[in-house]
Chain A
Amino acid sequence: MIPGIVISVLTFPGVIVHEAAHLLFCRMAGVAVFDVRFFRFGNPAGYVLHENTADFKKTFLITMAPFFVNSALCALFCSAAFLPIWEFQMDDPLAYFFYWLGLSIGMHAFPSNQDLKSLWRLMPAEARKSNVLAIASYPLVALVYVLNLAKFIWADLAYGIAVGILVPMAVFRFLA
């Protein structure tokens, strides 16, 4: 088993982008932030300590921010490097660098289970109020929760690779 800290160091851009996404959405939602660590040699490798809000939409955005931001950046970087690496299987060091960057960011797309619990707590009441976002959140949150639990079998890396391959593949097939 490779220690988590080693993985965090090897994929540090993803940790920083993850926390930056949390912070950005905290600020956009006007939620108080008490402490931030963008990267550290420890567990967790980064965190944003913010107030708990009862506003479901704000909680959803803050919790899921890294999932959307990291996934999008992963897809973009990997799309730029997908063709030389996967389609043409060429030795292009720059493409490999961009792919590493994309994968590093994509690997840290999952919100922590702590964040998910805050969201999960608010979901039933909101769903009862027919909040569409809350209802739609159930499968997404459940999926991310399961993937989070499966991190020990490299679900985070698998997710990064899946986004880094499937999204560019779908985009190229659609645009061609």
Chain B
Amino acid sequence: MFALDGKPVCGACAAQRPAEQKSAGEKLQLGRIVDKTICSVCKTDHGDTDLPLIGGLPVCEACAHKVLAWPFPVWLKAAMAVLLLLLGWALWHGRHYFPAGRHMVLGERALDHSDYRRASDEFTQVLKFRPDIQKAILLGAKANFLAGDPDRAMRFFHGSAHYKHDALYNEVMALFKHSVDAVSKARRANELDAAGKFDEAARLMTEAAEEYPQSQNLVITGQLYSARAAFYRKDYDAALRFTDAAWRSAPDDPNITASIAAALAAKYAVTGEPQLRAQAEQMLEKARQLSDRSPADHEAYLAYAPRVKYRLDSRQIIDGAEYDRRFGKQGAQH
């Protein structure tokens, strides 16, 4: 029952009449009539006896306990128990994934910090869990492409033959294409260098390095090829500049250190400035120390050191071939 402006009305009228009156410009006060003798829960009519109010509604004694502590049905308790068991099962089921997921996160973090070697190792760990996880394959390959190691990058692709073509896939494929094109140009540059076409070789190797700048090897080789080409053009300033750029990228490489010594010696031969000679001797000594680390480097040092010393002592600039012709074959350093 409802009260409309104080008059009792049924449910249907309570729903209909206020709207009619409103459209006619009148506003009615609508409220629910609570019969305090009828229990709000079980609807039992208790005659003339007013029931106690709980939360503003009349509730009989039998229902009062239920209202104040509404019972959880047995099926609900069972369902909640099943839900908790399912949650336990889900976490148990997921336990295999968690270590692999951790390696994935650490790999991505290392990749973000340009720590490509660490990233590669982490993604390798993920693939030990399952070798066909595309994201780990692609990120592992990406880490190695960015590290300038395309051979190692390609090894990541062995785990799967089919890939979903998403943004990461396209990014890695672009890196792959750049690396392939660059390696192809570098091979051609090597052939030109072997044929004595130093300017063309230097240009092509520089193009290869620009195509795939992540490869430190290509960048340094491009600089050394440019230095060699400059040397044969007798542009010793440029030769020194290119060699110096390469040496700054790999200061612990004994061969590049020796190349710096050779370039400084060439400039000394032209200018006669004692300071240049001192620098050349200093770099040659550094190259000797660095070459002690491996027998191959030491052998190379023994081949080029006499030529650099000859250049410093005689102030004559001759290439490796001419040196070998005069004094016997000892190496191919300019």
Contact = CB atoms under 8 A, between A and B. Distances in A.
Q: How large is the interface on A (under 10, 10 to 19, 20 to 34, 35 or more residues)?
A: 35 or more
Contacts of A90: 130, 133
Interface of A: 13, 16-17, 20, 23-24, 26-27, 30-36, 38, 50-53, 73, 76-77, 79-81, 83-84, 87-90, 94-95, 98, 101, 172-173, 175-176
A36 B70 contact: yes
B93 A27 contact: no
A30 B68 contact: yes
A54 B130 CA distance: 57
20 contacts: A13-B83, A16-B79, A20-B76, A20-B80, A23-B72, A27-B70, A30-B68, A31-B55, A34-B67, A35-B41, A51-B55, A51-B56, A73-B83, A76-B87, A81-B90, A83-B97, A84-B94, A87-B104, A172-B105, A176-B102
Interface string B158-171: 00000010000000
9 interchain residue pairs of minimum CB distance: A51-B55, A80-B90, A176-B105, A83-B97, A33-B70, A80-B94, A32-B55, A98-B90, A83-B101
Given A51-B56, A83-B98, A88 B70 contact: no
Interface of B: 40-41, 54-57, 59, 67-70, 72-73, 76, 79-80, 83, 86-87, 90-91, 93-94, 97-98, 100-102, 104-106, 109, 130, 133-136, 164
A34 B41 contact: yes
Contacts, number: 100
Given A89-B133, A89-B164, A172-B102, 19 more contacts: A16-B76, A16-B79, A27-B70, A34-B57, A34-B59, A50-B55, A51-B56, A73-B87, A77-B86, A79-B94, A80-B91, A81-B94, A83-B104, A84-B94, A88-B130, A88-B135, A89-B135, A90-B130, A176-B109
